[in-house]
Amino acid sequence: MGSIELVCPAGSPAMLEAAIEAGADSVYCGLRDETNARNFPGLNFDASELTRAVDFAHRKGAKVLVAINTFARAGGEDRWRSSVGAAITAGADAIIAADLAVLAHVRELSPTVRLHLSVQAAANTPEAIRFYVETFGVRRVVVPRVMSAPEIAELIKESPAEIEAFVFGGLCVMTEGRCALSSYVSGQSPNLSGVCSPPEAVSFERTAEGMVSRLAGLALDKTPAGATAGYPTLCKGRFATDGEAAYLFEEPTSLNAMGLLARLRDAGVTAVKIEGRQRGKAYVARVTGAFRKAIDALDRGGSTAPYEHMLTDLAEGGRETEGAYNRRWR
Amino acid sequence: MRFSGERLPARILTDLALALRPPVEMLLNLAVRRAWRRSANAFGRLGRFQHRPYLIDPADLPVAFELTLSEDGGAVKVVRRVPRPNGYVAEISGGLIDLLALFDGSADADATFFAGGLTIYGDTGAVLALHNALEAANLRLADLLVPAALAPGLDPILQRIVDWRRATRRAGGEPHGVY
């Protein structure tokens, strides 16, 4: 492992193997239900696949972090208990959770298993982090994608836990863990059901003029023919105000903070994370490979520049941004 | 690779291709069986879309393929294109090269779709489930295109041909598989 731990997504055993072969230090994955925030059809692991995946990863010197990061539903808590049990039995290196009840249950079941606080918990102050550390023994916090790089640097100075930051993939501009846009129109949300814009509610209509993307029948964007579109989420919809159509909340674009790796490392970030468990083998192999090369180059005293534009075609809408890391407004 | 129908009417090309159906179906069904044996759990990822027929429609071929999978196995049929509604849970259309690259997991499905290289119709959840099931099955190009005995030797060669074709098309600005 280099100076920064590279944490990569695994939506299936095949994707987990591809990520590790491409140079991931750790992979994160979820069980095949609503207990994780990528609950898409055909994705994720059953308990026996998870056990085999942990064995494979450990043989290759990599770690497996299991995301159980949605919020338990009243009356349905057993499903979250079952996922926690499966992760511990499989020998997971850490459990990523956000819900206080899930964090408490993990600690009750195992006093030693490593706990990471999910980005879904939206912890962005030393006081919040201290609470999770003192109450549940959380060892690492994944910081929200709305924080700027200077804010993260300040946070690290007082954080009693390791800090992990997203560096590539889909962006979420809302206070994470508290967004209801998807459930407002589709009945399902990332926080409760583990899915934002569930695919069964998504449709695409391609015409000679371009493509119309819809969620639950509502047209969210119209992309001209030849232009690259994005997955229809309400936060990335194009809305008309004052006679002009614009992306009011967020443009369909992907985070790529490879150019900030040195700054994040120097600020004390322990691990960097790639988003995209729903994407597949080709995506994870290419993104992991590029970030592996960039981190290795940094560790040799070199530059990340040769690798910074290798992934543009994988970005949502074919466009990349450094997101809130370079945000100058408050 | 392009069956544009410029010289022969499309219908005659389709009839000719359908006449070759038995050996093509046999080859493709062997490929499905091979993938199922190698990773039986993979097709179970289809969940409620098991036993539901998908239409795989390479835009540059005169025929399409009906694919039905389940945790018990699967089947492929060579079929004529028919107007919608046609009973398929979803249709996936694109250039043959792009479809092959998606099936063996060497291309990113999102990037290909959102760049215009694929068209889908029907249940988007079903398309996603199929993609994830095929990814988990760890298909290789040779599984789809050649008999099992030849597969190990030919797979890297086929992969290079497909990668080269996709790369040259991107470099030339040709749209992904939409003809």
Structure confidence at residue A175 as a pLDDT band (50, 70, 90): low
| Closest Cβ opposite residue B135 in set A14, A199, A228 | A14
Helix axes A13-21, A281-299, angle to 10 degrees: 30
Instruction: Determine whether the interchain pair A314/B108 forms a contact, defined as Cβ–Cβ distance below 8 Å.
Output: yes
H or E segment and range at residue A100: helix A100-109
Contacts of A244 (CB under 8 A, 6+ apart): none
Q: Above 50 in pLDDT, residue B179?
A: no
Q: Give B92's contacts in chain A (Cβ within 8 Å).
A: none
Distance from CA of A203 to the nearest CA of B (A): 6
Enumerate the β-bridge partners of residue A221.
Answer: A213
More confident residue, B85 or B168: B85
What amino acid is encoded at B128 in this protein? L
Give the mean model confidence (pLDDT) for residues B162-174. Answer: 58
User: Is B111 in contact with A200 (Cβ distance < 8 A)?
Assistant: no
Q: How far apart are CA A202 and CA A322, in angstroms?
A: 28
- The rounded mean pLDDT for chain B is 81
DSSP A142: E
> Which chain A residues contact residue B46 at CB under 8 A?
41-42
Say which of A12, A40, A279 has its CB closest to residue B136: A12
Q: Which of A40, A230, A318 sits opposite B128 (nearest CB)?
A: A40
Give the mean pLDDT of chain A: 93
B123/A314 CB distance under 8 A: no
Closest partner residue to B105 (CB to CB) among A43, A49, A282 is: A282
Mean pLDDT of B133-150: 73
pLDDT of residue A202: 93
> Which residues on chain B are in Cβ contact (under 8 Å) with A319?
none
pLDDT the model gives residue B6: 53
Minimum CA–CA partner of A316 in chain B: B111
- pLDDT bin (cut points 50, 70, 90) of residue B84 is confident
Beta carbons of A281 and B47 less than 8 Å apart: no
pLDDT given for residue A89 in this prediction: 98
- What is the reported pLDDT for A57? 98
Q: Beta partners for A141?
A: A117, A163
CA distance A296 to A291: 8
Q: How confident is the model at residue A318 (pLDDT cuts 50, 70, 90)?
A: confident
* Single-letter amino acid, residue A235: C
Closest residue to A279, CB basis, from B46, B108, B130 = B108
Q: Using an 8 Å CB-CB cutoff, list chain A residues near B176.
A: none
Spatial distance between the Cα atoms of B82 and A51, rounded to a whole number of angstroms: 45
Is B129 within 8 Å of B46 (Cβ atoms)?
Answer: yes
Give pLDDT tens digits for A51-97.
Answer: 999 999 999 999 999 999 999 989 999 999 999 999 999 999 999 99
CB of B131 closer than 8 Å to CB of B56:
no
Q: Note the pLDDT tens digit of each residue in A93-149.
A: 999 999 999 999 999 999 999 999 999 999 999 999 999 999 999 999 999 988 999
Query: What's the confidence (pLDDT) of residue A171?
Result: 86
Beta carbons within 10 angstroms of residue A241's beta carbon: 8
Q: How far apart are CA A237 and CA A210, in angstroms?
A: 16
Global confidence as pTM: 0.90
Nearest C-alpha neighbor of A167 from the set A181, A152, A179, A178: A152
CA-nearest residue to B102 within chain A is: A282
Is residue A330 scored above 90 in pLDDT?
no
Tell me phi and psi for residue B177, to 5 degrees: 65, 15
Q: Which among A34-48, A92-106, A225-239 has the top mean pLDDT?
A: A92-106
Q: Residue B148: what pLDDT?
A: 54
Distance of CA B67 to the CA centre of its chain: 9
B106 interaction partners in chain A (CB closer than 8 Å): 281-282
Secondary element (H or E) of residue A202: strand A202-207
The C-alpha of A199 sits at a distance from chain B's nearest C-alpha, in angstroms, of 5
Do B135 and A41 make contact, defined as CB atoms within 8 angstroms?
A: no
Q: Please return the burial class of A208, using the count of CB atoms within 10 Å of its CB with bins 0-12, 13-18 and 19+.
A: exposed
Instruction: Give the SS3 label for residue A48.
Output: helix
Look at residue A173 and tell me whether its pLDDT is greater than 80: no
Closest CA of chain B from A23, distance in Å? 17
Is there a contact between B105 and A198 if contact means CB atoms under 8 Å apart?
Answer: no
Is ipTM beyond 0.85? yes
Residue of B nearest to A41 (CA): B129
Q: Per the omega criterion (within 30 degrees of 0), is the bond before A150 cis?
A: no
Q: What is the pLDDT of residues B91-130, one digit of tens each?
A: 999 998 889 888 888 889 988 888 888 889 999 999 999 9
Residue B5 has pLDDT above 50, yes or no: no
Chain A hits for B119, Cβ within 8 Å:
206
Q: Which pLDDT belongs to residue B176? A: 32
User: A14 Cβ partners below 8 Å, 6+ apart?
Assistant: A281, B105, B135, B136, B138
Nearest residue to A65 via CA among A53, A82, A74, A79: A53
* Total CB pairs under 8 A between chain A and B: 94
Positive or negative CA dihedral for A243, A245, A250, A255? negative
More confident position, B40 or A8: A8
pLDDT of B150 reads 58
Separation of alpha carbons A3 and B155, rounded Å: 37
Q: How many CB atoms lie within 10 A of CB B174?
A: 12
DSSP secondary structure, B25-74, as one string: HHHHHHHHHHHHHHTHHHHHTTGGGTT--EEEEETTSSSEEEEEEETTEE
Q: CA A320 to CA A299: how far, in whole Å? A: 25
Residues of B in contact with A46 (CB under 8 A): 41
Interchain CB distance below 8 Å, B129 and A41? yes
Decide if pLDDT at B41 tops 90: no
More confident residue, B51 or A316: B51
Check B105 against A281: CB less than 8 A apart.
yes
What are the tens digits of pLDDT across the range A285-299?
Answer: 999 999 999 999 999
Of A273-282, A299-308, B159-168, the poorest mean pLDDT is in: B159-168
**Closest CB to B125 among A13, A14, A200:** A200
Q: What is the structure's pLDDT at B177?
A: 28
User: Given pLDDT bands bounded at 50, 70 and 90, which one contains residue A174?
Assistant: low
Alpha-carbon distance of B154 to A40, in angstroms, equals 34
**Residue A215: closest CA among chain B residues belongs to which residue?**
B124
Q: What is the pLDDT of residue A212?
A: 92
Instruction: Work out the pLDDT band at B174, boundaries 50, 70, 90.
Output: very low
Q: Please give the single-letter amino acid code of residue A37.
A: A
Measured between CA atoms, how close is A97 to chain B, in angstroms?
A: 25
Is the Cβ–Cβ distance between A119 and A144 less than 8 Å?
yes
Amino acid at B161: I
Give the pLDDT score at B165.
65
Q: In this complex, do A228 and B116 lie within 8 Å of one another by their Cβ atoms?
A: yes
Instruction: Render pLDDT for A220-229 as a digit per residue (tens, 0 to 9).
Output: 999 888 787 8
Residues in chain A: 330
Nearest C-alpha in A relative to B174: A226
| Residues A321 and A171: beta-carbon distance below 8 Å | yes
